[in-house]
Amino acid sequence: MKILSAQQIHGWDAYTIANEPITSVNLMERAATACTDYITQQNFFNKPFKVFCGKGNNGGDGLAVARQLLQQHFDVSVYIIEFGAAGTGDFQTNLQRLHELTVNIHFIQDEGFFPVINKNDIVIDALFGSGLNRPLKDLSAALVQHINQSEAFVISIDVPSGMFIDKSSINNAVVRANVTLTFQQYKLCFLVAENAENTGKLIILDIGLLPGFLNDIETVFQTADAASIQHIYKPRKPFSHKGSYGHALIIAGNTGKMGAALMAAHACLRAGAGLTTLNIPSAFLNAVHSHLPEAMCQLRENGLSFEKINAVGIGPGLGTGDDSLQLIEQTLNEYKLPSVIDADALNIISTHKRLSRLITPGSILTPHPKEFERLFGKAENDFERIDTALKKSAELNCVIILKGTYTLIAQNGKGWFNTTGNAGLAKGGSGDILTGIVTALLAQKYHPFEAALLGVYLHGLAADIALEKQSQESMIASDVVNCLGAAFGGLLMG
């Protein structure tokens, strides 16, 4: 699904209004109804609502929600921030409709008009929506602070007021919502960690915007959805053999970190590589044969061999000593197909910048935020980090998997956010497994970008399936590997 700018979101509304057709105020009513339906399904009976509205269309949404709640006999008070100008046409229409039901409508002209917000109140924030392009100040900022200082349960409509949808809102006055009800699709602001505290639980409501608008729209960002992943996925053919699915080499592990190598190789096997070889120190040969008999071994003391290797994954548990530096340099110099570069391999490259020039085009880099920072420099915020990932993916002609809650896959200046996975992956070994999965897909001749996109999606989906038997706290990396079969099965079932 394409992620739209504020201007494009407005255009999508206009397209729906023109082509459904539907009036703008009726589309607003439909959006408000979706919000009200969610709200009334929660356990908010016998609790008073305080609805805070600006005078734009976000405020119009809030007025319509207030009216619909009143019609269902909820206790509702409405507070409109007043700047002396008239509201939008649809805001004014909804204000007139609301006046027909209640006189409990208040205009906030200065801080003396702020109502007391009690712990038992439900606050609906409809002050400012996705069109906001400058930080809140003066009365608006003070009202946001007043809401945030309360202990009430806060529901934001569209976006938490004060939050920009496509740039950082750090140090801005932003409503701290418990739940955000947004419309139709993800917005970029909801996919970054820095906004999580203000967003709360995100609920995406379908309000029937016409999908045809998206056909000819160019966007920098998209989310990876099930339909796009199924388009990439290539089921195995019945008349095939192990040679049909490639030979993967995992260069990983060292003293104290052989678990990383075993997990990466196990994931590589589970993700479908026809053959998997581990390059390891000879001291750990028995550990591999006893724990992972399906894997072959290449002894590190005997040197690297890339003969008949279709994909290389390098870095998990490798260490950053001189011997590891030599392995990285030899791999980058001699192996000329795309590789998966992770963990200590990235750390070595970050301290020996000359090595970045040796990265084969199409290679896949899989940093977490700290590794990314070591490679490309410190970012002031998540949006700056994302922008750097896009630029570096184009500059290095590679794919960058920037790991996080919504992992970003960047290629050639564009980005795709993954939407599978959960906080159970916030544990040692998860990245090693991802390296093994993506390396296996590369070995099976997936295009590097497709291997990255599919690999990240499967990794998250397997973690979601693992939650059926585990909790996010109890889940370990091996649980995720063991659920890869079910994840593939989910793709086959459509």
Residue 390 has pLDDT above 70, yes or no: yes
Q: Tell me the average pLDDT across 411-439.
A: 97
- Gap between the Cα atoms of 195 and 187, Å rounded: 12
Q: How many CA atoms lie within 13 A of 474 on its CB side?
A: 6
204-233: per-residue pLDDT in tens? 999 999 999 999 999 999 999 898 999 999
Q: Tell me the average pLDDT across 342-347.
A: 98
| pTM passes above 0.85 | yes
Distances (CA, A) of 56 to 130, 131, 323: 11, 9, 62
Binned at pLDDT 50, 70 and 90, residue 202 comes out as very high
* Residue 22, φ and ψ in degrees, nearest 5: -155, 145
- Neighbouring CB atoms inside 10 A of 4's CB total 24
Burial readout 90-128 (b: 16 or more C-beta within 10 A, e: otherwise)? bbebbbeebeeeeeebbebeeeeebeebeeebbbbbbbb
- Gap between the Cα atoms of 473 and 6, Å rounded: 37
Please give the share of the chain, as a percent, with pLDDT higher than 90.
Answer: 98
Q: Tell me the average pLDDT across 101-106.
A: 98
Q: How many CA atoms lie within 13 A of 89 on its CB side?
A: 4
Q: Tell me the average pLDDT across 413-427.
A: 97
326-342: per-residue pLDDT in tens? 999 999 999 999 999 99
Question: From the CA atom positions of the chain, what is the Rg in Å?
Answer: 26
Residue 117 has pLDDT above 80, yes or no: yes
Nearest to 383 by CA among 172, 125, 129: 172
Binned at pLDDT 50, 70 and 90, residue 45 comes out as confident
- Gap between the Cα atoms of 453 and 85, Å rounded: 48
Please give the share of the chain, as a percent, with pLDDT higher than 70.
Answer: 100
Instruction: Report the pLDDT value the prediction gives residue 181, as an integer from 0 to 100.
Output: 98
Q: Find out whether the peptide bond into 21 is cis, omega within 30 degrees of 0.
A: yes
253-292: per-residue pLDDT in tens? 999 999 999 999 999 999 999 999 999 999 999 999 999 9
Instruction: Report the pLDDT value the prediction gives residue 492, as an integer from 0 to 100.
Output: 78
Binned at pLDDT 50, 70 and 90, residue 494 comes out as low
- DSSP-assigned beta bridge partners for residue 202: 180
Residue 493 has pLDDT above 80, yes or no: no
